[in-house]
Structure 1
Amino acid sequence: MIKSLKYQLPAILWLVLVLVICNVPMNDIPGSSQEYYEGFDKTVHTGLFFVLTILILYGSINSHKSLFLSFFTIFKIAFLSFFFGAFIEVLQWKVFTYRSGDWWDLFCDTVGVGMAVFSYLVLCRTRHGKKI
Structure 2
Amino acid sequence: MKQTLKYYGPAILWALFILIICAVPFSAPGPPDLFFPGFDKLVHCVLFFVLSVLYCYGSIRKWQTRSIRIAIAMKNTVVLISYGALIEYLQMRVFTWRSGDWNDLLADTIGSCMGIFGVLLTSNAINHENS
Q: TM-score, normalised by structure 1?
A: 0.88
CA drift of 1:70 comes to 2.2
Aligned-partner Cα distance in 2 for 1:63–1:33? 46
Asked if 1:13 is matched to 2:13, the reply is yes
Give the count of matched residue pairs.
127
CA drift of 1:120 comes to 1.3
Aligned-partner Cα distance in 2 for 1:50–1:32? 29
Aligned to 1:65: 64
> Which amino acid is 1:23 matched to?
A
After superposition, residues 1-132 of structure 1 pair within 5 angstroms as 2-27=2-27, 33=30, 35-129=34-128
Report SS of the residue matched to 2:123: helix
- Confirm or deny: 8 A CA contact 2:60 2:67 kept in the other structure: yes
- Confirm or deny: 8 A CA contact 1:7 1:59 kept in the other structure: yes
> Which amino acid is 2:102 matched to?
W
1:5–1:32: structure 2 CA closer, same or farther, 3 Å change rule? farther
Superposition RMSD in Å: 1.8
> Which amino acid is 1:81 matched to?
L
CA deviation vs aligned residue, 1:55-100 (integer Å, no higher than 9, x gap): 0001111122212222221111111110000000000011111110
- Confirm or deny: 8 A CA contact 2:77 2:116 kept in the other structure: yes
- 5+ long unaligned stretches in structure 2: none
Deviates more, 1:1-10 or 1:92-101: 1-10
- 5+ long unaligned stretches in structure 1: none
> Which amino acid is 1:105 matched to?
D
Deviates more, 1:72-81 or 1:101-110: 72-81
Q: Percent identity?
A: 42
CA drift of 1:10 comes to 0.5
- Confirm or deny: 8 A CA contact 1:26 1:32 kept in the other structure: no
Aligned-partner Cα distance in 2 for 1:105–1:32? 21
